[in-house]
């Protein structure tokens, strides 16, 4: 009996617990139904009418690019855009016809719009036209009722206030193409542009910033009813370059109509303070969009305005390479600074005769005077003694034959050949005559102006492996250059011989660049001229008289080169100049280098930054 009572009590407790649980669940259900059907009735009524909330990405302002002193090089400008929402427009062709009556659209424009529409979700707007004037925008806005799906938006477009100045370094932005795959939702925005060349491309992610979002309520046909929420993104980072725009402007004016390149770098830090390639182009044309004719004119121009010749132009270095031969010979012990060679105007090797640039010869020369007079015969003999493999090794230690890692896309490696290279690439053995030709910077030899400038910087700074770079405040941490530099492993006494030779080139009467010496007191420039052939001179031409460069078609004229550093007493800057098909290095390239280096020494951009930093530090301490 007692057991039955206990079982009844347990059963009653369970019934109570179950009843309470059911009551709680029922209360929750009733509360939820009340919330949905009473408190949220208006919201769900709106949704029941087929309204929906769409979340769109919001593009942040692109980061600025400035020079070393803060001068804006790439900024953002106001931009009116005409866009069409396909979901509302329904018939795209009909809407485009209607727009064309107000704002002319070419067939190229129409094809671009249709192609973009095929790859975009129907509720996303497609850009029809941008960079509209106020009048064009107003006319379209007034006619909007007859243009279903038309949306006029106001945004920002990339602007390069200095136009051609620095265009090859800055690069440009352009529309996202099918090949630009990314998970970034900003890439789906109509008219969104990304970096396609230069610094704009290298630092694109940092300059792009982080996108925001905005939530809008749209009705059943896709019309925006109202905006509900907006989350602003983060503006792109500012990128400060080592360039001095004052020097860029001076170099552009000095190069004028010449096709060529100039680069100047700080021999200690590697900062590039000037990088000019001529002819240039206007990157603003890419921001607004090039038409077919404009693009054709750029890519068919024989002077290659789209090519940054400082990093992508590969040229035979000519006599500017002779310093490498001299250093290789000194290090190998096959010659001393006092080793003399007699130059009768030619050099015989077996049955072949190799000519000096000076028909009557230079007479007897030591190494310094060989560099001073740029005697080919002297360096035929040096290269024959030391051999191509040692020459190639020395050149590579001074930055030639491989990419230097400058923060720009499109850098070319140049070419420093040796026995192994020829065997691997041409399946042939190296010939002794090829060593002689390489010894004066011809034959297979190729170098970029940036490599030649780096070579001179390492000679001038005592053999430290300075690497050129453009970014003072990198947007990407891995681009920061190490402060501790390795050496190229060449004895300073050997470098001193070469430096004495370069000083003589520019400052001693009879030197090949004496006429282009820097005249600033105490700020002499030490340099080396170079002239590289772009065609082979036949024996018949030598017998009958070689035509002067100015009598040849432009593309057959010699390239003119000049490299230098200054000031001689306390070196700080290295320069390399090439004038494509300019003829003589001493006549075409050296005067340009003299004028630009004079301006560099007057402005002293590296020293100016140091003085500013020193004043700021003193001000902070005070």
Residues with Cβ within 8 Å of residue 574, at least 6 apart in sequence: 264, 265, 267, 453, 454, 456, 457, 460, 563, 564, 565
The C-alpha atoms of residue 357 and residue 464 are separated, in whole angstroms, by 33
Provide the edge-to-edge strand list for the sheet that holds 212-218. 52-58, 212-218, 224-231
My answer on whether 213 and 353 are in the same domain is: no
Q: What are the φ and ψ backbone dihedral angles of 120, each rounded to 5 degrees?
A: -125, 145
| CATH number of the domain within which 528 lies | 3.40.710.10
∠ CA(535), CA(536), CA(539), 5° rounding?
Answer: 145
Q: Which domain holds residue 76?
A: 63-162+209-241
User: Per the structure block, which two tokens stand in for 132?
Assistant: 């509209």
591 assigned to some structural domain:
yes
Domain end position, chosen among 221, 241, 261: 241
Which tokens belong to 319?
A: 């006599």
- Number of domains into which the chain is organized: 2
pLDDT at position 483 over 60: no
Phi (first) and psi of residue 546, to 5 degrees: -70, 135
* Same domain membership, residue 377 and residue 292: yes
Task: Give the residue with greater pLDDT, 229 vs 27.
Answer: 27
Largest CA distance in the chain: 140
Tell me, yes or no, whether 417 and 534 share the same domain: yes
* 304 alpha-carbon distance from chain centroid: 16
106/250 same-domain check: no
Q: Is 436 contained in some domain?
A: yes
Q: Is the pLDDT of residue 406 over 80?
A: yes
- Mean pLDDT, rounded, for 147-156: 77
For 355, 376, 379, the CA distances from 359, given in Å and listed in that order, are: 8, 11, 16
**If residue 619 lies in a helix (H) or strand (E), which one and from where to where?**
helix 605-621
User: What six digits make up the tokens of 140?
Assistant: 């379209």
CB 474 within 8 A of CB 482: no
Peptide bond into 279 cis (omega under 30): yes
Over residues 437-466, the mean pLDDT reads 97
Write the DSSP string, 427-496.
Answer: S----HHHHHHHHTT-TT-BB-HHHHHHHHHHHHTTSB----B-EEE-SSGGGPPPSSPPB----HHHHH
Separation CA 186–CA 234 (nearest Å): 13
Q: How far apart are CA 391 and CA 324, in angstroms?
A: 7
218 and 328 both lie in a single domain: no
Report how far apart, in Å, the C-alpha atoms of 306 and of each of 38, 119, 276 are.
66, 29, 12
Task: Note whether 236 and 255 are same-domain residues.
Answer: no
Nearest CA-CA partner of 560 in 452, 459, 482: 452
Whether residue 423 lies inside any domain: the answer is yes
pLDDT at 81 over 80: no
pLDDT in tens, 179-199: 776 677 777 676 678 888 999
- Residue 524: C-alpha distances to residues 13, 456, 504 (Å): 106, 15, 11
Please name the residue that has the structure tokens 């704009």: 200
* Residue 26 domain-assigned (yes or no): no
Please check whether residue 237 is in contact with residue 474, taking contact to mean a CB–CB distance below 8 angstroms.
no
Place of tokens 């930093």: 613
Does residue 578 lie in a domain region?
yes
Q: Does one domain contain both 232 and 291? A: no
Region 119-124 average pLDDT: 69
How far, CA to CA in Å, does 452 sit from each of 254, 306, 350, 404?
A: 20, 21, 32, 11
Tell whether the torsion through CA atoms of 86, 87, 91 and 96 is positive or negative. Answer: negative
Query: What are the tokens at 574?
Result: 């290295």
pLDDT tens-digit map of 308-354: 999 999 999 999 999 999 999 999 999 999 999 999 999 999 999 99
Residue 284 lies in a domain: yes
Which of 137-151, 461-475, 553-567 has the highest mean predicted lDDT (pLDDT)?
A: 553-567
Q: Are residues 222 and 255 in the same domain?
A: no
Instruction: Please check whether residue 9 lies inside any domain of the structure.
Output: no
Residues 445 and 506 in one domain: yes
Q: Let me know: does 469 contact 586? Beta carbons within 8 Å.
A: no
β-strand 65-66 against 239-241: which pairing, if any? Answer: parallel
**489-509 mean pLDDT:** 97
Same-domain status, 458 and 428: yes
Residue pair 463/488 in contact (Cβ under 8 Å)? The answer is yes
Tokens of 42: 């208006």
Predicted confidence at residue 477, as pLDDT, reads 45
Q: How confident is the model at residue 151 (pLDDT cuts 50, 70, 90)?
A: confident
Q: Are residues 523 and 586 in the same domain?
A: yes
Q: What is the mean pLDDT of the chain?
A: 85
Beta 559-566 vs 573-579: how paired, if at all?
A: antiparallel
Q: Cα separation of 418 and 444, whole Å? A: 10
Dihedral sign for Cα 493, 606, 588, 542, please.
Answer: positive
Name the domain boundary from 193, 225, 241.
241
Q: Is the pLDDT assigned to residue 551 strictly greater than 80?
A: no
Quick one: residue 13, left, alpha or beta (phi over 0 = left, psi -120 to 50 = alpha)? alpha
State the catalytic residues.
319
Between 212 and 546, name the one with better pLDDT: 212
* Contact of 367 with 429, CB cutoff 8 Å: no
Here the tokens at position 441 are 């910077």
Tokens of 186: 């900003």
CA distance 375 to 504: 13
**pLDDT by residue (tens digit) across 371-388?**
999 999 999 999 999 999
Instruction: Give the Cα separation of 601 and 341 in Å (integer).
Output: 37
CB 258, CB 587: distance < 8 Å? no
Residues 110 and 126: their CA atoms lie apart, in Å, by: 11
Residue 459, domain member (yes or no): yes
When pLDDT is cut at 50, 70 and 90, the band that residue 246 belongs to is very high
pLDDT > 90: what percent of the chain? 51
Instruction: List the CATH number of the domain containing 112.
Output: 3.90.1310.10
Q: How far apart are CA 399 and CA 458, in angstroms?
A: 9
- What number of other Cβ atoms are within 10 A of residue 190's Cβ? 21
The answer for residues whose C-beta is within 8 angstroms of residue 268's C-beta and 6 or more apart is 461, 464, 466, 572
Same domain, 221 and 341: no
């Amino acid at each position: 009996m007692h057991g039955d009572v206990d079982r009844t009590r347990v059963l009653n407790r369970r019934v109570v617990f179950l009843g309470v649980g059911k009551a709680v669940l029922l209360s929750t259900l009733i509360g939820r139904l009340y919330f949905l059907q009473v408190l949220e009735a208006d919201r769900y009524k709106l949704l029941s009418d087929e309204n929906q909330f769409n979340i769109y990405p919001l593009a942040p302002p692109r980061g600025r690019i400035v020079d070393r002193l803060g001068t804006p090089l790439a900024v953002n400008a106001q931009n009116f855009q005409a866009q069409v929402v396909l979901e509302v427009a329904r018939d795209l062709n009909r809407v485009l016809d209607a727009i064309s009556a107000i704002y002319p659209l070419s067939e190229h424009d129409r094809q671009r719009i249709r192609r973009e529409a095929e790859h975009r979700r129907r509720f996303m707007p497609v850009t029809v036209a941008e960079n509209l004037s106020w009048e064009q925008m107003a006319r379209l806005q007034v006619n909007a009722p007859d243009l279903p799906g038309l949306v006029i938006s106001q945004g920002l477009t990339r602007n390069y206030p200095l136009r051609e100045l620095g265009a090859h370094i800055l690069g440009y932005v352009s529309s996202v193409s099918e090949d630009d795959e990314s998970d970034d939702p900003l890439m789906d925005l109509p008219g969104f542009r990304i970096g396609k060349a230069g610094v704009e491309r290298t630092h694109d992610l940092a300059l792009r910033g982080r996108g925001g979002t905005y939530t809008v309520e749209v009705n059943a046909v896709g019309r925006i009813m109202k905006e509900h929420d907006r989350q602003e993104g983060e503006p792109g980072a500012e990128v400060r370059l080592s360039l001095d725009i004052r020097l860029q402007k001076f170099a552009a004016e000095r190069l004028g109509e010449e096709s060529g390149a100039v680069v100047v770098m700080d021999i200690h830090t590697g900062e590039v303070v000037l990088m000019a390639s001529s002819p240039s182009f206007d990157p603003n044309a890419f921001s607004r969009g090039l038409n077919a004719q404009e693009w054709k004119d750029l890519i068919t121009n024989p002077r290659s305005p789209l090519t940054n010749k400082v990093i992508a132009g590969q040229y035979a270095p000519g006599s500017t390479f002779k310093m490498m031969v001299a250093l290789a010979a000194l290090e190998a012990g096959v010659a001393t600074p006092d080793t003399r060679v007699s130059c009768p105007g030619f050099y015989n090797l077996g049955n072949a005769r190799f000519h000096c640039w000076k028909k009557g010869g230079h007479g007897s020369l030591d190494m310094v005077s060989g560099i001073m007079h740029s005697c080919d015969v002297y360096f035929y003999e040096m290269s024959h003694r030391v051999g191509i493999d040692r020459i190639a090794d020395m050149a590579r230690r001074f930055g030639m034959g491989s990419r230097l890692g400058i923060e720009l896309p499109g850098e070319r490696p140049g070419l420093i050949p040796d026995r192994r290279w020829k065997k691997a690439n041409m399946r042939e053995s190296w010939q002794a005559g090829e060593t002689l030709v390489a010894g004066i910077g011809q034959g297979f030899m190729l170098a970029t102006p940036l490599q030649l400038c780096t070579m001179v910087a390492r000679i001038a700074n005592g053999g430290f492996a300075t690497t050129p770079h453009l970014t003072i405040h990198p947007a990407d941490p891995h681009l920061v250059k190490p402060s501790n530099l390795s050496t190229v492993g060449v004895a300073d006494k050997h470098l001193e011989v070469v430096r004495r030779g370069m000083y003589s080139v520019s400052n001693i009467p009879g030197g090949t660049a004496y006429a282009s010496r820097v005249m600033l007191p105490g700020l002499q420039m030490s340099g080396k001229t170079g002239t590289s052939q772009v065609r082979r001179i036949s024996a018949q031409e030598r017998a009958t008289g070689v035509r002067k460069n100015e009598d040849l078609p432009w593309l057959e004229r010699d390239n003119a080169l000049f490299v230098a550093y200054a000031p001689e007493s306390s070196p700080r800057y290295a320069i390399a100049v090439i004038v494509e098909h300019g003829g003589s290095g001493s006549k075409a390239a050296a005067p340009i280098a003299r004028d630009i280096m004079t301006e560099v020494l007057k402005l002293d951009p590296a020293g100016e930054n140091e003085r500013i930093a020193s004043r700021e530090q003193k001000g902070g301490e005070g």
